[in-house]
Amino acid sequence: MSRLNHGVIAIPVAMNTQFSTTPLPYLRRFAGFFALILPICLALAQSTPVAPPVVYTSTDFRANVAAGPIVNLKQLASESPGPVGSAGGETHFNRFPKLLPPMQDTGETAPQLPATPLASLPETPESSFRGFIGLTHLDQRLYAGGGNQFSTEPPDQGLAVGNGFVLEGVNAAINVYDTNGIVQLPRPISLDELFGLPPAINRTTGEFGVFAGDVSCLFDPETQRWFVMAWAQLNTRNGTPLRQSRLYLAVSQTDDPRAAYATYTFNTTGANAPDGNGPRIPDFPHFAVDRYGLFVNWQEFKINPDGSFDGYIGAAILAVSKTALINNGGGRPPRRLELFRIPFSDTGFAFRVWPAYIPPGQTPVLSNGGTEYFASSNVSGNSGRHIAIWALTNTSSLDTPSPNLQLSRTAVSTQEYVFPNFGVPQKNGFHPLGASLGEPVERLDAGIDTISSAEYVNGNLWATLSSAMRDDNGNNIEVVEYFAFTPQITNGNLTASLFTQGVIGRSGLFLMYPAIAINTDGNGAIEFSVSGRNNFPSSGFVSLTGTTVSSINIARAGNLPEDGFTGYPEFGGNGIARWGDYSAAAVDNVDNALWMATEFIPDLNRTAFANWATYVTRFQP
């Protein structure tokens, strides 16, 4: 399926839709890398309605949440998980497919990447950033949960920073470090342990438990609490998949990420949902908080009778009282929850509606009864030229017996973004798993041109996504596009204007899965994975000062090619290994430093099935 298009253009657009509720370790900068920046600071006309608002009614979701056990990470990590055998298969049957929305093939090509001079090598070593290797596949598979885990790719990235700690979540495991990268727990913790669930697979008996994944993490400086989220499809003890799904949330009971967490389980099956689409999963959940609530977006796909996934239904946004999550102290579920289900429809904006992170020092939006912003791209065709801005207002009503939230959407015209529908090359090298199978080095999954991070700071909503362009040799490469919008709500009407936008790219390089973090001083960074025919998968970023973007920094160069099981035909692959599916970035509440984490390939001990690792970068603007 192709989603490549041509021409970078900006056309004013007028689109507005209303949704409302009723109360129911060496670091250096490489020569030859640079940031191609198209900082198009355009003041486009604010969007205005073109049709009467479409009104949706939310669902009172309180009957679908239950409180779980209180767990203590220090205690869990100090306890022996018991003997581990080798029973059971290595990979899980239903966490392999890449789930995409329906898209129309318009059969066009990517825009041309303009020529720009290369950045020069600095005279002195770069000292403003440093980092450490985070979780690896070896950690996740063999050490978290005592080895009662599956091999998983890609290493979905979660990251939270605060109070001198770094909490990292990757796939089915988490760990805690100090800001020097020193591990704070005796071993990594599996998500199943964190949520008080049976292990994904008992390697002694071969019995299946719960395989939680798609982790995301957040530290809330206002409440001094840590949050971790993941989801799972349920199955029988012998591994038969069920037409049931769950979302899991852990909330720390103190400001220490190593201590006790209250846990909650949300039944997301939706078998009797009004849309009539039956049981579904909550794929790709990501969340943010404002003063009053915690807001989750997930993507709903049908669960077929045989337990497989197929058929995109639409996006969902869940609003939960943050006060209830924290003050209940565990043991009691929150009782103020509202769920919006948004059909994909022909607009194409209802997919990965990313909630905006609010950095330390930034007061949440208190106007209109409290407001949380979201951003999404249009993925109905091969390319898009508009970004949707969403606003969930009256969030303070989550602290009342009858929440009454309003969800609205507007769209702003932007530069074009393009679906990178190709495998990303990587440098040839030692790949023992592939070589043992007689397979060449894999290509990497480029992802999709959906919003991959969002942040609200200093009155602007920033967002990033992956895109495709043609380099000076006419070859498709993957680039990063970024946008900033200024949203406003006047008399209940949401409008937004484009503040700035740009493209980050380099001929011959592929920049994948960006994530943005900006502090209240206006200094930021955009993180991404870097690969190319002459480059092993690496960790890179650009700094951002106001609207000015730096050259590309390589935070940690890769040493080997990706050699994981997902791309090899012998494991059901097609020569393209899973990569991403997302990076993560956050701001430190102690010193305003920027923290980022993404996937790369080091030369370290590995398992037989995968060699991925993550790199955690600290950048002090």
User: For residue range 447-465, what is the model confidence (pLDDT) as tens digits?
Assistant: 999 999 999 999 999 999 9
How many angstroms separate the CA atoms of 511 and 532, rounded?
A: 9
Predicted pLDDT at 328: 76
What are 486's strand-pairing partners?
A: 497
Q: Over the chain (621 residues), what is each successive 10-residue block's mean pLDDT?
A: 30 36 34 41 38 61 95 92 75 70 68 48 62 97 94 95 98 97 97 97 94 97 98 96 98 97 97 94 98 98 94 96 87 89 88 98 97 96 94 96 94 95 97 98 97 98 96 91 97 95 93 98 97 97 94 95 97 95 97 98 97 98 92
How many angstroms separate the CA atoms of 72 and 74, rounded?
A: 6
Predicted pLDDT at 106: 59
User: What pTM value is reported for the model?
Assistant: 0.91
Give the residue from 403, 376, 217 showing the smallest Cα distance to 293.
Answer: 403
How many angstroms separate the CA atoms of 74 and 77, rounded?
A: 5
Cβ atoms 328, 334 nearer than 8 A: yes
Q: What share of the chain is helix, strand, coil (3-state, %, to 5)?
A: 10, 45, 50
Stated as kind and residue range, the H or E segment containing 129 is: strand 129-136
- Domain limits, the chain: 15-619
Predicted pLDDT at 599: 98
Cis amide leading into 154 (omega within 30): yes
Cβ atoms 569, 439 nearer than 8 A: yes
How many angstroms separate the CA atoms of 247 and 144, rounded?
A: 20
How many angstroms separate the CA atoms of 322 and 224, rounded?
A: 12
The DSSP code sequence of 132-185 is: EEEEEHHIIIIIGGGG---B--S--EEEEEETTEEEEEETTEEEEEETT--B-S
Q: At 88, is the secondary structure helix, strand, or coil?
A: coil
Cis amide leading into 192 (omega within 30): no
Q: Which two tokens stand for residue 402?
A: 């009858």
Give the other-Cβ count within 10 Å of 125's Cβ: 9
Q: Which two tokens stand for residue 273?
A: 């949902």
557: left (phi over 0), alpha (psi -120 to 50) or beta: beta
Predicted pLDDT at 3: 38
